[in-house]
């Protein structure tokens, strides 16, 4: 169940259509609240934790200091544009990597299957209309993709974490509770590989995690790596 709260009638007139979308697509016994005090909604979970997606207002997550497309590890893993710039992000999530890649020059289409997260992304994307946000399950979306539709693809599946001594910040606790883990990550990976849809396919993994399949190469950071599959 989702409760909508609008600060004024103008905001309700502009964003009220999301009520029917969530009634149709968001199936949960928990009570969530979406509060519109302005153009960017704040979403509350049953415990009062909250998050919002604001591409322009959240400089910490969406306006990172970056070097050139040729030097950033993720862009290098994707080919730095040598394989083409039409990019499919199969796990939009909070949109952090999608925005980062857009700022580096990639033409991004991002897929998100959680209705609440999709709504937040879609509203935020009105600030940055060059990015296309698609509401779909990644497996179903891949079935509709043909070779050549996109040059490269990126996949950052969410996995169960090992026990830690401290919890992440409240926004990430909320987000992970909301979307869960990507239990079909292996299916998504193998479908993308088998259909040979992209010139390059990059998968983000924890540094200590096993690969889905032996990659052609990897770019490693301190805690994560990018596995590269040249298709």
Contact by Cβ (8 Å): 41, 16: no
| Residue ranges, the chain, pLDDT below 50 | 162-167
Q: Note the pLDDT tens digit of each residue in 198-219.
A: 999 999 998 888 899 999 999 9
Determine the Cα–Cα distance for residues 116 and 168; give it in Å rounded to an integer.
Answer: 21
Q: Note the pLDDT tens digit of each residue in 163-202.
A: 443 445 656 666 666 765 557 889 999 999 999 999 999 9
- Residue 29's pLDDT is 82
- Residue 159's pLDDT is 61
What is the pTM assigned to this prediction?
A: 0.89
């Amino acid at each position: 169940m989702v409760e909508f709260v609008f600060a004024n009638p103008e905001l309700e007139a502009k964003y009220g259509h999301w009520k029917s979308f969530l009634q149709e697509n968001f199936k949960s016994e928990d009570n969530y609240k979406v509060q519109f005090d302005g153009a960017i909604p704040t979403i509350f979970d049953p415990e009062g934790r909250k998050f919002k997606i604001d591409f322009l207002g959240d400089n910490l997550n969406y306006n990172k200091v970056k070097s050139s497309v040729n030097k950033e590890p993720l862009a290098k893993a994707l080919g730095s544009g040598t394989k083409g710039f039409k990019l499919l992000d199969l796990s939009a999530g909070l949109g952090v990597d999608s925005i980062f890649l857009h700022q580096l020059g990639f033409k991004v289409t991002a897929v998100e299957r959680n209705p609440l997260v999709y709504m937040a992304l879609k509203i935020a994307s009105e600030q940055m209309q060059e990015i296309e946000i698609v509401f779909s399950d990644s497996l179903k979306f891949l079935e509709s993709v043909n070779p050549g539709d996109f040059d490269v693809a990126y996949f950052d599946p969410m996995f169960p974490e090992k026990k830690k001594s401290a919890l992440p910040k409240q926004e990430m606790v909320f987000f992970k509770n909301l979307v869960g883990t990507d239990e079909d990550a292996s299916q998504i990976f193998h479908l993308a590989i088998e259909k040979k849809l992209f010139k390059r396919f990059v998968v983000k993994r924890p540094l200590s995690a096993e690969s889905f399949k032996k990659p052609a190469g990897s770019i490693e950071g301190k805690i994560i790596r990018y596995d590269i599959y040249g298709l």
